Structure 1
């Protein structure tokens, strides 16, 4: 499952989050500040390494969550 969303703070700043789950548990989540993924489960390490290597996608994800969303 994927869950992502957008946030608008009272001072007008935008933010957002992107996280994924598997079998009802947390699996992996995007860290916009470091442009990396945080594995919440040992099985997510393979996915983390693959997704961390895709810097263009991660920059695009950050842009989407902070500007477009």
Structure 2
């Protein structure tokens, strides 16, 4: 999924093979080259906010997949 195609309120899956990470998230804001994602972490039992930059996607640290 292209970083620029993300919309606020959209549900996406955030994946990272490098960090062994896969979470279903909601896009909460997009400002410049940053996208803010929110998800529930079952291990910590709390809601987590994560900020990704365009570089995180560009250098394949993370992959965004639409859940629609």
TM-score, normalised by the number of residues in structure 1: 0.27
TM-score, normalised by the number of residues in structure 2: 0.27
Q: Which has the higher strand share?
A: 2
Q: Which has the higher helix share?
A: 1
Q: Which has the larger radius of gyration?
A: 1
